[in-house]
């Protein structure tokens, strides 16, 4: 598994792409098109939202599991864009049990945020939260419903009966027309999605029994997890490693390696606490050098120093076996480099994550300073060629985390990485 250990955008896509070389299937198990995973291959950039990052390899079967929420228009658009770039999505499998996102989900996401005013979550406004809410409320429509127009219309009618008055009377928005939506989904989307619909749980288990290699690609990250993140400033799914069991239908004993993708510093888009946040010119430097603008929403990401209180918590909750550290090159010109190793909360030093949200809001970072290396790392591909200070920084992270770093990236390109242990 590949999971994010921070607030997203750690570089999960680029390492999923790299590890996909040796995989038979690459599987998304949660989230939706709130994700934006960037792959840079031979100078060509791919921004993926729903299609798993293994799609570039013709031998890989990309799978969208039951735990994902799918806007079919977005998926079709993404498949078309990939086809234009010469990437065939014919092998893509989509779970019939995955839930569908509708335009009313997006409309509700937008108005709910507006309603919250200055307490807004800063969602991606893609309808993700409302779609998962309908799933939990058992009024969601699933991909398999596209295959039965009568049932599809019936279910949609029931949902609109509730959503339309809510949109019109509470939020003063236009209602949605049943026939317009049904036509769009059943006549425009269904023919494009139907060839991909599959029993993905059966497919994954057949592959496991045949001894194939499966890679699960997390979207979002540990601290955006609905249960383990900085609630309510989270997404509405479970990106943590445990999410794979529910979101793909795999028992925990099948997962033998969990790679925690960790940016050499931290970024966050949207609202919520961020103890090691930098609001000074160093933060601006990280945004500029790291190009920290949202892959989809183009929003400026908030940046801060690496936080090992968070990292240790991510190691525990995800049972991380190792770390993949990204964007080390972004720190090239910084000196000193700081790492948050503990928090001060109400005058007390805390080296583990407070469970109480108010304490996380009140936490101030306790930093250790490490010397910078002042060298361009972007062409380093061999650990032995890393400057001593960079090696020390990585060792410091490993010690703090208690698990080894096995991959380190020094640029966005597929080949811009250093393998600390052989890449499988």
| Shortest spacing between CB 8 and Mg ion, in angstroms | 6
**Is 353:343 a contact under the CB 8 Å cutoff?**
no
| Cβ-proximal residues to 117 (8 Å cutoff; 6+ apart), any chain | none
- Give all strands (DSSP E) within 225-319, no chain letters: 259-263, 266-268, 302-304, 306-307
366 close to 340: Cβ distance less than 8 angstroms: yes
Per the structure block, which two tokens stand in for 100? 């569908």
Which of 3, 5, 7, 10 touches ligand GDP by CB under 6 A?
10
What does the alpha-carbon distance between residue 240 and residue 242 come to, in Å, rounded to a whole number? 5
- CA 322, 327, 333, 337 dihedral sign is negative
Angstrom distance (rounded) from CA 389 to CA 384: 12
Annotated catalytic residue within 17, 33, 37, 196: 37
Tell me the C-alpha distance between 163 and 185, whole Å: 18
Residues 6+ apart with CB under 8 A from 115: 171
Instruction: Please identify, among the stretches 5-13, 152-160, 163-171, 334-342, the one whose residues bind ligand IMO according to the rule CB under 6 A.
Output: 5-13
Using DSSP's 3-state secondary structure scheme, residue 40 falls into strand
**Residue 123 interacts with, from ligand IMO, ligand GDP, Mg ion, none (CB under 5-8 Å by kind):** ligand IMO
What minimum distance in Å lies between the beta carbon of 12 and Mg ion?
A: 7
Q: Which is nearer to ligand IMO, 224 or 408 (CB)?
A: 224
Instruction: Single out the residue of 103, 122, 149, 175 in contact with ligand IMO (rule: CB under 6 A).
Output: 122
Tell me whether residue 9 is one of the annotated catalytic residues: yes
Token pair, residue 232, equals 């309510």
Under rule CB under 6 A, which residues in 127-156 are in contact with ligand IMO? 128-129
Out of 9, 78, 292, 322, the residue judged to bind Mg ion by CB under 5 A? 9
Among 124, 238, 262, 400, binds ligand IMO (CB under 6 A): 124
**One of 32, 36, 67, 270 touching Mg ion (CB under 5 A):** 36
224 touches ligand IMO (CB under 6 A): yes
Helices (H), 20-102: 72-84
> How many chain residues interact with ligand GDP (CB under 6 A)?
21
Q: Which residues bind ligand IMO (CB under 6 A)?
A: 4, 7-9, 34-37, 121-124, 126, 128-129, 219-221, 224, 235-236, 269-270, 295
Q: Which residues bind Mg ion (CB under 5 A)?
A: 9, 36, 295
Q: Which residues bind ligand GDP (CB under 6 A)?
A: 4, 8-14, 36-38, 40, 295, 326-327, 329-330, 409-412
- Which positions are annotated as active-site residues? 9, 37
């Amino acid at each position: 598994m590949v999971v994010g250990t921070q607030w997203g955008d750690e570089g999960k896509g680029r390492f999923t792409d790299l590890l996909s070389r040796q995989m038979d299937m690459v599987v998304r198990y949660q989230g939706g098109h709130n994700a934006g995973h960037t792959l840079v291959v031979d100078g060509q950039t791919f921004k993926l939202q729903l299609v798993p990052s293994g799609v570039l390899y013709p031998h890989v079967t990309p799978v969208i599991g039951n735990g994902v929420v799918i806007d079919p228009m977005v998926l079709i658009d993404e498949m078309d864009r990939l086809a234009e770039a010469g990437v065939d999505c014919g092998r893509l499998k989509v779970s019939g049990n995955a839930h569908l996102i509708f335009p009313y989900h997006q409309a509700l996401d937008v108005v709910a945020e507006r309603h919250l005013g200055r307490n807004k979550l800063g969602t991606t406004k893609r309808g993700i939260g409302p779609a998962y809410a309908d799933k939990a409320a058992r009024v969601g429509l699933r991909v398999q419903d596209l295959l039965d127009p009568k049932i599809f219309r019936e279910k949609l009618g029931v949902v609109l009966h509730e959503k339309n008055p809510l949109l019109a009377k509470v939020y003063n928005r236009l209602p949605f027309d049943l026939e317009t939506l049904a036509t769009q989904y059943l006549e425009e989307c269904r023919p494009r999605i139907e060839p991909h619909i599959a029993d993905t749980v059966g497919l994954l288990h057949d592959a496991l029994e045949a001894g194939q290699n499966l890679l699960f690609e997390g979207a979002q990250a540990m601290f955006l997890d609905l249960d383990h993140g900085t609630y309510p400033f989270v997404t509405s799914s479970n990106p943590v490693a445990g999410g794979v069991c529910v979101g793909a239908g795999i028992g925990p004993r099948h997962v033998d390696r969990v790679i925690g993708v960790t940016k050499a510093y931290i970024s966050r888009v949207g609202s919520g606490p961020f103890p090691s946040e930098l609001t000074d010119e160093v933060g601006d430097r990280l945004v500029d050098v790291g190009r920290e603008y949202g892959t989809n929403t183009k929003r400026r990401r908030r940046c801060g120093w690496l936080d090992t209180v968070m990292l240790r918590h991510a190691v525990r909750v995800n049972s991380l076996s190792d770390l993949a550290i990204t964007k080390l090159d972004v720190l090239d010109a910084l000196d000193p480099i700081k790492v948050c190793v503990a928090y001060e909360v109400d005058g007390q030093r805390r080296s583990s994550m407070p469970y109480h949200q108010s304490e996380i809001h009140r936490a101030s970072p306790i930093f250790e300073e490490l010397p910078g290396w002042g060298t361009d790392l972007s062409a380093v591909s061999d650990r032995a060629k890393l400057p001593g200070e960079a090696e020390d920084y990585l060792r410091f992270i490993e010690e703090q985390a208690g698990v080894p770093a096995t991959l380190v990236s020094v640029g966005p390109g597929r080949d811009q990485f250093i393998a600390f242990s052989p890449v499988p």
